[in-house]
Amino acid sequence: MYSRLKQSVLTLLFLVLAGAAVAENGDEATEQAIQSPHAMVETITGELLKSIAAHRDSFEQDPEPFFSELDCLLGKAVDFRWLAYNVMGPYRAQATDEQLKRFASAFRRDLVETYGRGLVSYGDETIVVLPPAGDLTGQRKVTVQQEIHGVDGVFPLYYSMAVNQKGEWKITNVVINGINLGKTFRNQFAQRAQKYGGNIDQVIDSWTSKVETEA
Protein backbone atom coordinates (compact mmCIF):
# COMPACT_ATOMS: atom_id res chain seq x y z
CA MET A 1 0.00 0.00 0.00
CA TYR A 2 2.77 2.45 0.91
CA SER A 3 4.55 1.91 -2.39
CA ARG A 4 1.29 2.61 -4.15
CA LEU A 5 0.76 5.63 -1.93
CA LYS A 6 4.11 7.05 -2.98
CA GLN A 7 3.05 6.64 -6.58
CA SER A 8 -0.19 8.41 -5.78
CA VAL A 9 1.80 11.27 -4.29
CA LEU A 10 3.55 11.96 -7.54
CA THR A 11 0.26 11.39 -9.31
CA LEU A 12 -1.08 14.32 -7.33
CA LEU A 13 2.10 16.25 -7.99
CA PHE A 14 1.35 15.92 -11.68
CA LEU A 15 -2.21 17.07 -11.06
CA VAL A 16 -1.00 20.34 -9.62
CA LEU A 17 1.63 20.82 -12.29
CA ALA A 18 -0.95 20.13 -14.96
CA GLY A 19 -3.12 22.79 -13.40
CA ALA A 20 -0.38 25.33 -13.74
CA ALA A 21 -0.01 24.32 -17.38
CA VAL A 22 -3.43 25.75 -18.19
CA ALA A 23 -1.96 29.25 -17.88
CA GLU A 24 0.17 29.69 -20.96
CA ASN A 25 -0.33 33.35 -21.81
CA GLY A 26 -2.70 36.26 -22.19
CA ASP A 27 -6.14 36.08 -20.58
CA GLU A 28 -5.63 32.46 -19.57
CA ALA A 29 -2.59 33.39 -17.47
CA THR A 30 -4.51 36.23 -15.83
CA GLU A 31 -7.44 33.96 -15.02
CA GLN A 32 -5.12 31.32 -13.60
CA ALA A 33 -3.38 33.84 -11.35
CA ILE A 34 -6.71 35.07 -9.98
CA GLN A 35 -7.89 31.56 -9.16
CA SER A 36 -6.75 30.47 -5.73
CA PRO A 37 -4.18 27.67 -5.58
CA HIS A 38 -6.65 25.57 -3.59
CA ALA A 39 -9.35 25.92 -6.22
CA MET A 40 -6.82 25.19 -8.94
CA VAL A 41 -5.73 21.96 -7.28
CA GLU A 42 -9.29 20.80 -6.82
CA THR A 43 -10.37 21.67 -10.35
CA ILE A 44 -7.39 20.12 -12.10
CA THR A 45 -7.57 16.97 -9.99
CA GLY A 46 -10.93 16.21 -11.55
CA GLU A 47 -9.77 17.10 -15.05
CA LEU A 48 -6.68 14.93 -15.04
CA LEU A 49 -8.50 11.99 -13.47
CA LYS A 50 -10.65 11.99 -16.60
CA SER A 51 -7.49 11.75 -18.67
CA ILE A 52 -6.25 8.86 -16.55
CA ALA A 53 -9.51 7.02 -17.13
CA ALA A 54 -9.21 7.58 -20.88
CA HIS A 55 -5.76 5.98 -21.04
CA ARG A 56 -6.08 3.24 -18.43
CA ASP A 57 -7.35 0.48 -20.71
CA SER A 58 -4.77 1.07 -23.45
CA PHE A 59 -1.82 1.89 -21.20
CA GLU A 60 -0.28 -1.57 -20.90
CA GLN A 61 -0.28 -2.10 -24.66
CA ASP A 62 0.79 1.42 -25.57
CA PRO A 63 1.88 3.75 -22.72
CA GLU A 64 3.51 6.34 -24.94
CA PRO A 65 0.39 8.46 -25.65
CA PHE A 66 -0.13 8.88 -21.93
CA PHE A 67 3.55 9.63 -21.30
CA SER A 68 3.49 12.14 -24.13
CA GLU A 69 0.47 13.89 -22.66
CA LEU A 70 2.12 14.10 -19.25
CA ASP A 71 5.36 15.36 -20.75
CA CYS A 72 3.49 18.09 -22.59
CA LEU A 73 1.69 19.21 -19.43
CA LEU A 74 4.87 19.20 -17.37
CA GLY A 75 6.80 21.02 -20.07
CA LYS A 76 4.32 23.90 -19.93
CA ALA A 77 4.13 23.98 -16.14
CA VAL A 78 7.66 23.34 -14.84
CA ASP A 79 10.98 25.06 -15.29
CA PHE A 80 12.96 21.83 -15.28
CA ARG A 81 16.22 23.75 -15.45
CA TRP A 82 15.37 25.47 -12.15
CA LEU A 83 14.18 22.21 -10.64
CA ALA A 84 17.35 20.38 -11.65
CA TYR A 85 19.45 23.24 -10.30
CA ASN A 86 17.90 22.81 -6.87
CA VAL A 87 18.01 19.00 -6.83
CA MET A 88 21.71 19.11 -7.65
CA GLY A 89 22.28 21.08 -4.44
CA PRO A 90 25.92 22.06 -3.83
CA TYR A 91 27.04 20.08 -6.88
CA ARG A 92 25.38 22.65 -9.14
CA ALA A 93 28.31 25.00 -8.54
CA GLN A 94 30.67 22.65 -10.37
CA ALA A 95 28.23 21.57 -13.07
CA THR A 96 28.55 22.96 -16.56
CA ASP A 97 25.60 24.48 -18.35
CA GLU A 98 25.42 21.41 -20.57
CA GLN A 99 25.35 19.09 -17.55
CA LEU A 100 22.55 21.12 -16.01
CA LYS A 101 20.56 20.81 -19.22
CA ARG A 102 21.21 17.07 -19.40
CA PHE A 103 20.15 16.51 -15.81
CA ALA A 104 16.99 18.55 -16.31
CA SER A 105 16.15 16.32 -19.26
CA ALA A 106 16.93 13.11 -17.37
CA PHE A 107 14.96 14.23 -14.33
CA ARG A 108 11.96 15.12 -16.49
CA ARG A 109 12.04 11.89 -18.47
CA ASP A 110 12.35 9.72 -15.38
CA LEU A 111 9.49 11.43 -13.55
CA VAL A 112 7.20 11.11 -16.54
CA GLU A 113 7.96 7.47 -17.25
CA THR A 114 8.33 6.17 -13.69
CA TYR A 115 5.55 8.00 -11.93
CA GLY A 116 3.30 8.20 -14.95
CA ARG A 117 2.75 4.53 -14.29
CA GLY A 118 1.44 5.44 -10.87
CA LEU A 119 -1.23 7.61 -12.44
CA VAL A 120 -3.00 4.75 -14.17
CA SER A 121 -2.98 2.71 -10.97
CA TYR A 122 -5.02 5.36 -9.16
CA GLY A 123 -7.79 3.42 -7.47
CA ASP A 124 -10.13 3.70 -4.50
CA GLU A 125 -8.51 6.59 -2.63
CA THR A 126 -10.55 9.74 -2.07
CA ILE A 127 -8.74 13.07 -2.35
CA VAL A 128 -9.86 16.01 -0.23
CA VAL A 129 -8.48 19.53 -0.62
CA LEU A 130 -8.60 21.34 2.74
CA PRO A 131 -9.60 25.03 2.72
CA PRO A 132 -6.94 27.66 3.41
CA ALA A 133 -6.36 28.50 7.06
CA GLY A 134 -6.61 32.24 6.43
CA ASP A 135 -6.86 35.00 3.85
CA LEU A 136 -4.40 34.41 1.01
CA THR A 137 -4.90 37.80 -0.65
CA GLY A 138 -1.61 39.20 -1.89
CA GLN A 139 0.40 36.16 -0.88
CA ARG A 140 2.85 34.73 -3.41
CA LYS A 141 3.78 31.60 -1.47
CA VAL A 142 1.26 29.24 0.11
CA THR A 143 0.90 25.69 1.33
CA VAL A 144 -2.02 23.69 -0.03
CA GLN A 145 -3.02 20.68 2.04
CA GLN A 146 -4.74 17.58 0.72
CA GLU A 147 -5.77 14.40 2.44
CA ILE A 148 -5.71 10.96 0.79
CA HIS A 149 -8.46 8.84 2.30
CA GLY A 150 -7.82 5.14 1.64
CA VAL A 151 -8.58 1.79 3.16
CA ASP A 152 -5.47 2.01 5.34
CA GLY A 153 -6.20 5.44 6.77
CA VAL A 154 -5.79 9.13 6.01
CA PHE A 155 -2.48 10.43 4.69
CA PRO A 156 -1.63 14.17 4.70
CA LEU A 157 -0.16 15.81 1.62
CA TYR A 158 1.32 19.32 1.54
CA TYR A 159 2.16 21.31 -1.59
CA SER A 160 4.46 24.31 -1.38
CA MET A 161 3.31 26.65 -4.14
CA ALA A 162 4.53 30.02 -5.38
CA VAL A 163 3.57 32.60 -7.98
CA ASN A 164 6.15 33.14 -10.70
CA GLN A 165 6.90 36.35 -12.60
CA LYS A 166 4.10 35.62 -15.06
CA GLY A 167 1.53 35.36 -12.27
CA GLU A 168 1.22 31.58 -12.52
CA TRP A 169 1.06 29.29 -9.51
CA LYS A 170 3.80 26.68 -9.57
CA ILE A 171 4.56 23.84 -7.20
CA THR A 172 7.97 24.01 -5.54
CA ASN A 173 7.88 21.04 -3.18
CA VAL A 174 5.71 18.21 -1.85
CA VAL A 175 5.66 16.60 1.59
CA ILE A 176 3.69 13.36 1.95
CA ASN A 177 3.18 11.73 5.32
CA GLY A 178 6.41 13.29 6.56
CA ILE A 179 8.46 12.53 3.44
CA ASN A 180 9.92 15.68 1.91
CA LEU A 181 10.31 14.92 -1.80
CA GLY A 182 12.58 17.89 -2.49
CA LYS A 183 14.95 16.83 0.27
CA THR A 184 14.75 13.20 -0.85
CA PHE A 185 15.76 14.03 -4.42
CA ARG A 186 18.62 16.26 -3.24
CA ASN A 187 19.89 13.56 -0.90
CA GLN A 188 19.65 11.03 -3.69
CA PHE A 189 21.72 13.20 -6.02
CA ALA A 190 24.33 13.74 -3.31
CA GLN A 191 24.54 9.99 -2.61
CA ARG A 192 24.99 9.26 -6.30
CA ALA A 193 27.64 11.94 -6.60
CA GLN A 194 29.58 10.42 -3.70
CA LYS A 195 29.22 6.95 -5.21
CA TYR A 196 30.73 8.13 -8.49
CA GLY A 197 33.45 10.26 -6.94
CA GLY A 198 31.82 13.53 -7.89
CA ASN A 199 31.46 12.59 -11.55
CA ILE A 200 28.28 14.46 -12.44
CA ASP A 201 28.03 12.86 -15.88
CA GLN A 202 27.80 9.42 -14.28
CA VAL A 203 25.13 10.64 -11.86
CA ILE A 204 23.07 11.94 -14.77
CA ASP A 205 23.52 8.74 -16.77
CA SER A 206 22.35 6.62 -13.83
CA TRP A 207 19.63 8.91 -12.52
CA THR A 208 16.43 7.43 -11.15
CA SER A 209 13.78 9.24 -9.14
CA LYS A 210 12.54 6.22 -7.20
CA VAL A 211 11.52 7.65 -3.85
CA GLU A 212 13.15 6.15 -0.79
CA THR A 213 11.41 6.18 2.57
CA GLU A 214 13.84 8.44 4.41
CA ALA A 215 12.17 11.65 5.58
What are the strands of the beta sheet with 153-163, ordered from one edge? 126-129, 141-150, 153-163, 169-176, 179-180
Using CA atoms, how far apart are residues 125 and 173, in angstroms rounded to an integer? Answer: 22
Residue 34 has pLDDT above 70, yes or no: no
Domains defined along the chain, listed by start = 2-205 (3.10.450.710)
Residue 77 has pLDDT above 70, yes or no: no
pLDDT at 180: 85
pLDDT at 147: 82
pLDDT band at 30 (very low <50, low <70, confident <90, very high): very low
For the stretch 175-202, pLDDT in tens is 877 888 788 889 999 999 999 999 999 9
Contact 104, 209 (CB under 8 A): no
**Among 92-101, 113-122, 172-181, the least confident range:** 113-122
Residue 205 has pLDDT above 50, yes or no: yes
- Which comes out higher in pLDDT, residue 6 or 111? 111
pLDDT at 74: 65
pLDDT at 10: 53
Residue 9 has pLDDT above 70, yes or no: no
What mean pLDDT comes out for the span 38-49?
70
Q: How high is the mean pLDDT of the chain?
A: 75
What mean pLDDT comes out for the span 159-166?
80
Using CA atoms, how far apart are residues 103 and 168, in angstroms rounded to an integer? Answer: 24
pLDDT at 145: 87
What mean pLDDT comes out for the span 155-164?
82
pLDDT at 212: 43
Task: For Cα atoms 62, 65, 66, give the angle at the middle one, nearest 5 degrees.
Answer: 95
Residue 70 has pLDDT above 70, yes or no: yes
Look at the chain and count its residues. 215
24-44 in b/e form (b: 16+ CB < 10 A) is eeeeeeeebeeeebbebbbeb
Identity of the residue numbered 102: R
Residue 63 has pLDDT above 60, yes or no: yes
The C-alpha torsion from 209 through 70 and 68 to 124, rounded to 10°, is 90
pLDDT at 73: 67
pLDDT at 132: 86
Residue 24 has pLDDT above 50, yes or no: no
What mean pLDDT comes out for the span 102-128?
76
Residue 45 has pLDDT above 80, yes or no: no
Using CA atoms, how far apart are residues 120 and 98, in angstroms rounded to an integer? Answer: 34
